A and B are shown apart, each in its own frame.
Chain A
Amino acid sequence: MLNKARTLKDILWFFVFFGLVAGIFRLWFGLGATTNLTDSVPWGLWKVLNMIAGVALSTCGFTIGFLVYVLRVEKFKPLIKPAIFVAFLGYGSSCFALLFDIGLPYRFWHPLFMWNEHSFLFEVFWCVMLYFSVTFIELMPNILEKYKLKKTVGFLHKITIGVVIIGISLSTLHHSSLGSLFLITPYRLFPLWYSSLLPVYFFTSAAGCGIMFLIFVKILYSKLYNPVSVFGEQTNGKVPVVCSLNRNDGNTATKEYGKDMPMLSSLSIVGASLLAIYLILKIYDLFRLNLFNTLLIGTWESWIYILELLLTAVLPLVLVIIKKSRRSPYGLGTATFSASLGLALNRLDVGIIGYFRDAGSAYFPSLTEWALGIGVIAAAALVFLFVAENFSIFDEQWKVYKINKGIFKASFDTINRVWQAALHSGLQRTTIIGVFVLPIAFVLMYPQYKSDKGIYVVPASGLNTIRSILIINANTPGMSTEFPHLKHQETLGKEQSCIECHHISLPDDKSTPCSRCHRKMFEKTLIFNHEMHKGWVAADRQIPGLQPENKTCAICHLPGLPKDINSAVGCMECHKEDIHVANTLNLPKQFLYADSYFYVMHKRCIGCHQERKQGVNKPNLDQCSNCHQSYYTQYETKKELYGSLASD
């Protein structure tokens, strides 16, 4: 039982450490380097899963508050503390994750003073903030009880009903407003999800699934710490508590579960009836907007839509309606878990997935986004477990699970004493997880270790054999520029003219084409190939007494210095005769990087054209349109060119 809790905590710590590194990287390197967000999909996992779905799953605070304080259903009173606490943690973790999502986290307070009353986001901000304070006030008595501040607690109890009513109004507003956020995107959101009823959907589904989520938390918590209260006595020792809502139906011979089960199953009926309203509204909306064609056409969106509806409403409803599964913790657990999962999926659909078709590109969160998103949730769960262990959040009192604070003396024989023995005790166990997880997280998420995301652009797709025309399209189909190579060669003077433009002839090349080195269209490229040089340079010179492969090192890297770029001799030491001195190119000592193709072509062409425009009496020779006219006028001449190519 406690071993299970400990394993769960280990897993949670794993995610927390991962999230810690992710959070630091997010703040250090910025959003672009750590997330997969783009201009087409600006809202990602943190905002939608952590904020919108997280807040939606924390509605139990106000629904149970409504049931207990306003409607005075005394049956659910034991659940009020965990409900408020789950709400508090849910809102807290959501807001914390949101701090990492917004571009300028240090300005989170701006909406307090800078108002735009027309924005639903503004309303959500205020309501969430106020409601978070309300949950805090509601929570205070439970914490203060432990410190025996009777006056404060008494005062807080007196104002409870007022605070609860304010909380319920605020929740009604912001849960529907979270749906209204997406009303502003009528032509971007996929029509299955866009509806003018979005606020109502969001409110009903959040209220229903919030209750279900609380039941799930209760069942899970009991499984870990106090199985008797929900799962019943495992042995035959004591008097069994019969789970039956209505003792008059004569069907008391059902399986015996814990004493909390009747309460949970009757609560699940409340949640399920809210979900039923949600389901009916959704189906009504399909009729109203006439979306059956879109639903049945079989796009992947429609499958996700059906899955989401099944998980959120249909499966939980069925499981709750069947009496047998409703009264069993396993059936109820499945129902509530499915509802929570479905709710998260629904929010992801409305917030992210529904925009893919419009954006024209899909988005899958990066590792950093998953790590931080899950890490924040894991941290909230750890706080929950900690508080539930040390304060009386769930009403029953049980033996507080104490960690054995073992202390180890310094010993060089560490692997046995300091490491293995630490596995049996609390915080020292956690630090071991940290020692291993932090480096892994660092290496996996460090932006500079990721593979180069930049696309490789092949600049010139032309004719290598004849070289009469070079067609430069820069990977933009439909837009290209022709460079009439043959024409230039003839105008400038046949065979002798090569060196006018080609400034280098690498070994085995007559005159090296531009794209050999200027490989990328708009970026500099690393052109120095170390492996290749190693093989070639050795053949040239002989240094006696060295291991054959090491001879080359001594040629380029000066002895007595670190073997890096700075200690190597310049490229011109060897390549002097390859460079055509005829043209006035200013080559540096080390030309490791070649400029972009775009840059060098413009530089070479425009410079030369500017010089020659007077001589040949063509005033437009240095204008853009001289080369780039193929955009529109040269469409016909293009055909001629292609024709001439074919004849060559």
Chain B
Amino acid sequence: MFEQLESRLTTTFAKLRGRPRVTDADLEEALRDVRVALLEADVSFKVVRSLVATVRERAVGAQVVRSVTGAQQVVKIVHDALVEMLGSEAVPIARAERPPTVIVIVGLQGSGKTTSAAKLANLLRKQGRKPVLVAADIHRPAAVEQLEALGRQLQLPVRRVVDPARDAARIVAEPGGDTVIVDTAGRLHIDEAMMAEVEGIVAATKPHDVLLVVDAMAGQDAVDAASAFHARLPITGLVLAKVDSDARGGASLSVRAATGIPVKLMGTGEKLDSIEVFHPDRLAQRILGMGDVVTLVEKAQEVVDQKEAEEQAKKMLEARFTLDDFYTQLQQVKKMGPLGDLMKMIPGMGQLAAQIPTGPETERELKKVEAIVSSMTRAERADLTILNGSRRKRIARGSGTTVSDVNHLVKQFEEMRKLMKQLGPALRYHGPLRR
């Protein structure tokens, strides 16, 4: 998500920076580009209009036209306006002083409520809480069975209801856990009977968090729908679902701008642990092509042993790096997630990442490399010079590849090591790892 918005804005800014002095025409052109980029990203029409107006007003006020630093100033003004739109601090999920904490999940049909409820329960359990799920969607066929199946996978209790409001309240009174998560039926914001039903659930359970699930692929209507929900229910946070699509996510972000409700979580995949706390400031930086180093480092810390990583970096720079080390790294990188996602978090790499194929071919290519390396003996990995013809043939057979694949990998690795040797001294002082 978001990367295309990023690349659009980066192009606009690059054009602007190329000008010695910003003219009125340059400013108008940049504003037109920003408008189109935001609209293409599904940012709400109203939000776009006010954002463009704000930027124009501030740009005129700051006298960017004809100023030597005009372009820089425009970029900063757009950046600030975007940050204002996204909000800044992450807002945590509520925790009641006296348990149970009650969380009600609401949203349109198909936005991803049931999956989000299960993922949230999983996340909270990891934080040491004892969640209980309540299947209060009694309208969609098999919605209860869906949540029960997810509950079984997570080994978490799922409670059924007959009358959603009455029974949910009874479960809250005797929860058998410290956090009650109520999954409600999907409903249209203009469906009076259904909106009354969910009002009843909220009134009966007195939730500490009412989370509205918004599809990351939503269009212009998202703001109207969310506003209608907010008018009837005390919505305290948004959950962005399906963020692993390539949607630019503008509508879901507009909801924050239009209603002031903070985004708390985002769903990032099909697996039940694919949910993340939302950090708006990091996202603004990512959209503007400034990378998201903090998330990258956090991801790395989750899976990489710090000492080992330092040792490997040192080895790499001194060209003592072997295929064995490379294999270990490959495994660690794989644990961190798809390569393309990681690239996007590195400052300045967003644009580059778009050019690097990250689809199934790349993953296949990586698998091939993995197969070849794992078909080598330890001695071979440590010292590639011992690879004679018959060893290469054996490796190719063992990995289901060809000798030319093996040769190719060996050659590439040698070249990389040569490059590292040359770059080593420079990287050590100005490397991407230094902030």
- Same complex: no
Interface residues of B (CB under 8 A from A): none
